Amino acid sequence: MYSKTHRQNRIKELLKERVFYNQEELVKTLSDEGIEVTQATLSRDFQELGVVRTSAAEGSRYTLNVEEAGNQIRKLISFEILAVQSNEMVIIVRTLAGRAQGVAHYIDKLNSKLILGTISGDDTIMIVPSSTKNINDIVQLMNKIMNAEIT
């Protein structure tokens, strides 16, 4: 059985390599490669990856929309963060139950030089700053994310 990450990476690769006019074609292609996926799961993957249906001369097709994927993820993350607190050493981000790991992953993928790393539990994230001098800037960044002000 393949992981969600593997499946989604393969979907991105396939959409870059070929044209798919409907989800059934992609489900069959994935199945031929040993990746079993339902149409419902594929629809969720499309939403998470930012796959959109676009019009072309030969008909509608599925393509990656990187900008839209980023916007959707940012919106979701903003709803999942409940509070941001800090002291002289670290920043704590409180999230909805079960969402800390996803939010921490998003924070890590920002690749901010202000942040050394994150540690997450179920509903709490500890952000370790690269320097204690960065704490206020990181708190401001987290508040912007929480309020969906990041573009």
83 lies in the same domain as 139: yes
**Residue 73 included in any domain:** no
Among 18, 35, 66, the domain-final residue is: 66
Do 24 and 46 sit in the same domain of this protein?
Answer: yes
**151 within a domain of the structure (yes/no):** no
Task: CATH number of the domain at 28, please.
Answer: 1.10.10.10
User: What's the predicted TM-score (pTM) here?
Assistant: 0.57
Residue 120: is it exposed, middle or buried by C-beta count within 10 angstroms (0-12/13-18/19+)?
buried
Distance CA 86, CA 7 (A): 37
Give SS3 for 102: helix
On whether the CB atoms of residues 33 and 10 are closer than 8 A, the answer is: yes
* pLDDT at residue 68, rounded to an integer: 54
Residue partners of 70: CB distance under 8 A and separation at least 6: 50
For the stretch 62-120, pLDDT in tens is 887 755 556 667 778 888 999 999 999 999 999 999 999 989 988 998 889 999 999 99
Same domain, 54 and 24: yes
Give percent of the chain above pLDDT 70: 92
Q: Work out how many domains the chain is built from and give that number.
A: 2
Residue 1: pLDDT above 80? no
Which helix H or strand E contains 56, and what residues bound it?
Answer: strand 51-56
Domain that holds residue 55: 4-66
